[in-house]
Structure 1
Amino acid sequence: MKRRAVLRGALAAGMAGPGLAALTTTRNDIDAALASERTTDLDHWESTAERYGHGYHGQAPADVLWDLVAEFDDLKPLLTRPHRDADRSVLTHVTGQMAGMVAIVLHDLGQHRESHRWSATAARAAQESGDRLLHAWVLAREAMVPLNYGAAAVSARLADRARHLAGSTPSAPAALASAVAARAYAVGGDRQRALEAVADVERLAERLTPQQRADTWFGYPLQKHHVHLSQAFTHLGETRRAYETQQAAVALTRTPSLMTRALITIDEAACRAHDGDRATAAALAARVYGDLPEAYRTGLTRTRTLALYRSLPHDTPGRMVLADTLSAAG
């Protein structure tokens, strides 16, 4: 009532004195409230997603997972508040990115069921944000879960959905989707489709912008390109091309990337086995897996090493050493 009286007096006096000050304060408060969500909350969350997008940086996957989950404790309340359409789109976009990163880490830790659930959450957020490329990225990332855990046909279907969403215009999600499709078809024994997908990803990779080639989980850097092709060529039995991509990947891999280096070496070991040098394959796998810190001897690295071990004949020199290394880490 007092403020109303002050404002009435200000109107009668031609908007001067205390009435003008009160109106200005109210307007400033509203402007601050309107701006606070963008400058304090949404900008913060966009930068948070960008920061996590740079990957592990030598941190153990489990540590990154718990940090991401802790961030969601603060992010969740924002999702229940009313927002302007543009801000809601930003918020769901960030949610899709961060949920997708949780799915990536869970996949690397071998928690494929939970990874699938987080991928579904990320896909819902991406759809709500209206960003088809983000949705394609989520699906391509999700396709890696069945690919690495024994369901190549499911992976190929997801990767092809991602390719359809991304379209033919060069983009990081389009390149990733084609790379995962190449691997899935190679693992599934469909050589023709695998080679077609390899040709697609090579075409796309050549036309990416520097920003699209950024070395993040959202980009498609040349290093990741070679890592994916290493897997595709290894499963296709094209060991010469596989060795070339492995060498290129190692040369481009940052020193702290323990998991990536280990997976590339396991690919090399699989190629050595394919070429008949099984003793070297067993020794390589035992060395790289045994040298990993305990936090990294789970999930994907263990799955790949175990698959190689099982593929080696029982009389392979060094096979028992590899078995002991796997048992000690298990």
Structure 2
Amino acid sequence: MNRRQLLRGALAAGLTGAALTALTDTRQSVDLALTTDTTPADLSDLEAAAETYGYGYHGAAPTRFLADLVGDLTDLHPYLDSPQPVATRMRVCRTAGQMAGMTAIVLHDLGSRKESRGWFATAAAAAKESGDSQLHAWVLAREAMVPLNYGAPRTAAVLAEKARTVAGPRPTAAATLAAAVAARAYALSRQPEQARHALAAAESLMERLDAGARADTWLTHGEQKHHVHLSHALTALGDTRRARQSQQRALELSAPTSTMTRALLAIDAASCVHHDGDTQEACQRTIAVLSDLPAVYRSGLVRRRALDLYQSIPAQHHQEASVRVLREVLVG
């Protein structure tokens, strides 16, 4: 007879001494399970690894970074398959959500949209199970950047607003990121009023972030990252004066090894030049950015941003020399 049957039999006669003893035995077994340390020995190491990956590429090739990250995530997999105490399960799911989210970011940077979306779905499921609403909001905000950067800003706005709802009104890194991404999405989808409201919210949240939330990692929202988002939103809005200010500040805060970020900022700057009337100079700058990049960075997000600039040039200018060269570089 199993524990359930014994308990039912004891309770059938009411709260007798036997029933109370059975209840006490059950409670003590639950207490033991809750207090017994069955945490995997290397979970702390994997949590530390996730934190380290959050500091980004630091000059490493995205493909090499991805291989290391997924290798550590594979080490986490057995703990997701085996029963764990609730607190341990939450830690495992939180770490899995962070690692899966960062895997999705790298795939997004490399231009693998389908795989990136799949990993973001995995990250969202893990984050939701972990009970960490801020991690869940961060995953949704980062996921919104996939359609944002690949031609579907309205879809991005929906995801970013979902992230803002999950994050709530407190000044957190996830809430600030979600507002900044929403501003970019609205600006690109030609909804300037909504974009400006989201920008104002992002600025207000950023001013109230504590020092930990301002750290310069993928999982937080530092000043450098904030100005990268503002640069794109303000460029899309045609507010070139403020966009240049954010570009300058973001460059000041970007390490020389931040190859992709610096390239994106340079293309934003070129887009400002185009918006202010010098399309030839804008194309020449963009061609120089693409030509100077290592091959691994010329596809994916950087190419998409350069393509956005090209597509913003009126058709009557497409036969001009610098515009033709830009098109050839993008096709090549």
With the shorter chain as reference, the TM-score category is 0.7 to 0.9
Does the Cα contact within 8 Å between 1:183 and 1:228 map onto a contact in 2? yes
Q: In the alignment, residue 179 of structure 1 is paired with which amino acid?
A: A
Identity %: 53
Q: Residue 157 of structure 2 contacts residue 186 of structure 2 at CA under 8 Å; is this kept in 1?
A: yes
SS where residue 318 of structure 1 aligns?
helix
Return the alpha-carbon distance in structure 2 between the equivalents of residues 165 and 36 of structure 1: 31
Contact 1:278 / 1:316 at 8 angstroms: preserved in 2? no
Kept in 2: contact 1:282–1:317 (CA 8 A): no
**How many aligned positions are there?**
295
Match of 1:320 among 315, 320, 324: 324
Equivalent AA in structure 2 for residue 37 of structure 1: T
Report the counterpart of residue 70 of structure 1 in structure 2. Answer: 71
Residue identity opposite 1:150 in structure 2: G
Where does residue 165 of structure 1 map in the other structure? 166
For 1:205, the equivalent position in structure 2 comes to 206
TM-superposition CA deviations, 1:105-146 (whole Å, max 9, x none): 111111111111111100100110001000000000000001
Contact 1:182–1:194 (8 Å) recurs in 2: yes
**Matched ranges for 1:73-84 at <5 A:** 73-84=74-85
Matches within 5 A, 1:103-142: 103-142=104-143
CA offsets 1:21-73 (integer angstroms, 9 cap, x no match): xxxxxxxxx9xxx65735x2221111010011110111111211122222222
Contact 1:227–1:245 under 8 Å retained in 2 = yes
Contact 2:231-2:247 at 8 Å conserved across structures: yes
State the 1:173 CA deviation. Answer: 0.2
| Letter aligned with residue 327 of structure 2 | A
Q: Distance in 1 between matches of 2:221 and 2:290?
A: 26
| CA–CA distance in structure 1, aligned partners of residues 236 and 256 of structure 2 | 26
User: What is residue 187 of structure 1 aligned with on the other side?
Assistant: 188
Residues of 1 paired with 2:312 and 2:138: CA distance? Answer: 32
Distance 1:223 1:142 in 2: 20
Aligned-residue offset at 1:324:
3.5
Structure 1 position 279, deviation (Å): 1.2
1:74 CA drift (Å): 1.4
Contact 2:38 2:85 (C-alpha < 8 Å) held by counterparts: no
Distance in 2 separating the partners of 1:323 and 1:78? 49
Distance 2:72 2:42 in 1: 12
The answer to whether the Cα contact below 8 Å between 1:278 and 1:317 also exists between their aligned partners in 2 is: no
Q: Deviations over 1:182-216 (max 9, x none)?
A: 00000011111100000000000011111100100
Query: Structure 1: which 5+ runs fail to align?
Result: 1-29
In 2, the alpha carbon distance for the partners of 1:136 and 1:149 equals: 21
SS at match of 2:39: helix
The more displaced of 314-323 and 105-114 is 314-323
* Structure 2: distance between partners of 1:194 and 1:201: 10
Aligned to 1:233: 234
- Partner Cα separation in structure 1 for residue 46 and residue 209 of structure 2: 26
Give the letter for the 2:114 counterpart.
R
Instruction: Give 2:39's aligned residue.
Output: 37
- One-letter code of the match for 1:321? V
Structure 1 CA distance for aligned equivalents of residues 254 and 268 of structure 2: 15
2 CA distance for matches of 1:135 and 1:36? 26
- TM-score, normalization: structure 2? 0.86
- What amino acid does structure 2 have at the position aligned with 1:325? V
What is the rounded CA distance, in whole Å, between the counterparts of 1:197 and 1:151 in structure 2? 18
